[in-house]
Amino acid sequence: MGLSRAELFAAIRRDKRLDPELSQRALAEKYGVHRRTVRQALLSAVPPPRKKPAPRAAVLDPAKPWIDAMLREDANAPRKQKHTARRIYQRLAQEYDFDLVSYSTVCDYVLARRPQIEAEVLEGRRHLTGMVPQVHLPGEEAEVDFADVWVRLAGQVVKCHLFTLRLSYSGKAVHRVYASQAQESFMEGHVEAFNILGGVPTRHIRYDNLKPAVNRICTGRSRIESERWVSFRAHYGFDAFYCVPGEDGAHEKGGVEHEGGRFRRTHLVPVPEVATLEELTAVDHAHPLQPGSGRDNIRFSSVSDCSCHQATGQSPPCPCGW
């Protein structure tokens, strides 16, 4: 069995130490190595690292920028019309007269490179993502949403629904807890909020696509509303603005969603114990019209301030029952 380089260096140094008259030629002949190896062993007991040959350029290297460009085109292409590895292989031969590599080589490169380019494109878009600040005028807009809450009702924990109507400009909000999201609860929440606020927003109120109001979602923001809801809106004189379905729609009324969570965390933790849901109305009365986040310094400080800016006047009872 041959000696390792470390063992070879140790043997050469031992022989030279035992017989200082031995020449490098004699040691080289004894161990069958080059005199350069003997000189290295005598200079240091640690063998020098082997020199790695310079890597040869891959045959595919000239084509990599072209393949990357094709994969970047796919970032804006329809999902079912993106480049396959075979199509890239064909384009290299047809458009660039490049046929020096096999299809499997192109396929392996595309398989490894596509996720990297998709991540690069996504990262670039993330840095370009911006936002447009919302501007609301006094008295024009409000937002409505239901949030799930749990209540210990008559000794049993039940799931209820927190109705929240929040004024977009001032951030003032009215909350009510109901056993369901039925149309009766939906309309009753509006009526109580209008009475407490002293009026109705003059422009519109934002909603997601709640079943008490919307029978069918059509193209864009078109909706087929229930007749009873249309009559309710006509009586109180406000328009409905329906957010787009899904997560994007949640961002269109983020104020009321945040406000529902804030009220729940602040006033309904721990789980309240009540005999009837009417007892929870006292919770909202104990914290009337508080601003949603407290971070905006142009919040109204009293119900009268809110009314004079945001109300359009009281309305008589609604003929549809609310």
What whole-number distance in Å separates Cα of residue 71 and Cα of residue 136? 43
Q: What percent of the chain has pLDDT over 90?
A: 31
Provide the token pair at 96.
């660039």
Model confidence, pTM: 0.53
pLDDT of residue 95: 92
Q: What are the helix (H) ranges across the chain?
A: 5-18, 24-31, 35-43, 64-73, 85-95, 103-128, 183-197, 227-236, 247-251, 254-267, 278-286, 303-310
Rounded percentage of the chain residues whose pLDDT exceeds 70: 83
Lookup: tokens for 107: 């396929």
Are 105 and 86 in contact, with CB atoms under 8 Å apart?
no
The pLDDT tens digits of the residues spanning 268-307 come to 888 888 888 888 876 666 555 555 444 333 333 333 334 4
Domain-wise residue ranges, the chain = 5-43, 61-128, 141-310
Exposure on the CB side of residue 204, measured as CA atoms within 13 A? 8
pLDDT of res. 311:
43
With a cut of 50, say whether residue 28 has pLDDT above it: yes
Q: Is 136 helix (H, G, I), strand (E, B) or coil?
A: coil
- CATH number of the structural domain 141-310: 3.30.420.10
- Mean pLDDT computed over 85-106: 92
Q: What's the pLDDT score for residue 305?
A: 39
How does the average pLDDT of the chain come out, rounded? 82
3-state secondary structure of 289: coil
- The larger pLDDT score, comparing residue 66 to residue 45, is at 66
**Mean pLDDT of the region 149-160:** 90
What's the CA gap between 84 and 100, in Å, rounded?
19
- Region 56-68: mean pLDDT is 89
- According to DSSP, residue 275 is labeled S
